Amino acid sequence: MERHSQEMSQDALLKISNIDAFYGTFQALWDVSLVVKPGEIVALIGSNASGKSTLINTISGVIHPAQGTIEFGGRDISALDPFQIVTLGISQVPEGRRIFPEMTILDNLMLGSYNRQARANREQNLKKVYEHFPLLEERTKQLAKTLSGGEQQMLVIGRGLMSDPKLMLFDEISLGLAPKVTDELYKAVREIRAKGITILLVEQNVRRSIKEADRAYIIKAGRIVLGKNVAELQEEEIKQAYFGV
């Protein structure tokens, strides 16, 4: 896996090299390395408390790595704050559908376009959001709290698109949603990738991740234990990496 990652790192959009991360004195990530190339969907698979969300938050600047580096487009972003990272072109779609319930759908979307580049492209990006999710255009003045769970997830994805991203980090977008709604959301993810946005997809659902992604990494207890093209993954090695059986 390490040799494969080194070969791929030359044309990486996102390159994470040997990072450790802590919550206070608790170490959550151990020597984590991964690569995401332009135009890919890369899945990060792991169970609860495996370190998936910690890694997403470290990429986003919510947590800074204690050691190692995170590079985006060849630039070291390890010490940058979240607002700086968003401006560079990384957008996080957080777990838990964190909307502003008492604000309208349109106002929720507009909050995603606060950086200078996104403000300049606001109308263009809003049009893209409505192409993916026509329902949001139909309900622009509706309060966000009146949406269903799946519709709220569409809103959060739309808000992420409003920041004019080059890379989107999706954290458990299907959690708690019906299969039909999940299918609709993943259709949007594929469409977003088709428009040139690179995607790092964080999921517990192994089968769905492998179906959607080009490559996958499995994280367990804060360590990357497997990384491969999904076409090369064997069920037995997934079980071994994921469950340790």
Counted domains in the chain: 1
**Domain presence at residue 226:** yes
Domain residues for the domain of 74 are: 1-89+205-245
Q: What is the 3-state secondary structure (H, E, C) of the chain?
A: CHHHHHHHHHHCCEEEEEEEEEECCEEEEEEEEEEECCCCEEEEECCCCCCHHHHHHHHCCCCCCCEEEEEECCEECCCCCHHHHHHHCEEEECCCCCCCCCCEHHHHHHHHHCCHHHHHCHHHHHHHHHHHCHHHHHCCCCEHHHCCHHHHHHHHHHHHHCCCCCEEEEECCCCCCCHHHHHHHHHHHHHHHHCCCEEEEEECCHHHHHHHCCEEEEEECCEEEEEEEHHHCCHHHHHHHHHCC
At 173-224, the pLDDT tens digits run 888 888 999 999 999 999 999 999 999 999 877 888 889 999 999 999 999 9
Residue 155: burial class (beta carbons within 10 Å; 0-12, 13-18, 19+): buried
Looking at residue 70, which CATH number applies to its domain? 3.40.50.300
Question: Is 48 among the domain residues?
Answer: yes
- Residues contacting residue 121 through CB under 8 Å, at least 6 positions apart: 113, 164
> Looking at residue 115, what is its pLDDT?
79
Whether 120 is covered by a domain: the verdict is no
Percent of the chain with pLDDT over 90: 71
In-domain check, residue 73:
yes
Closest CA to 153 of 131, 178, 173: 173
Kindly state whether residue 133 falls inside one of the protein's structural domains.
Answer: no
Mean pLDDT estimate for the chain: 90
Let me know if residue 151 belongs to a domain. no
Domain assignment of residue 71, yes or no: yes
pLDDT in tens, 8-62: 555 899 999 999 999 989 999 999 999 999 999 999 998 888 899 899 999 999 9
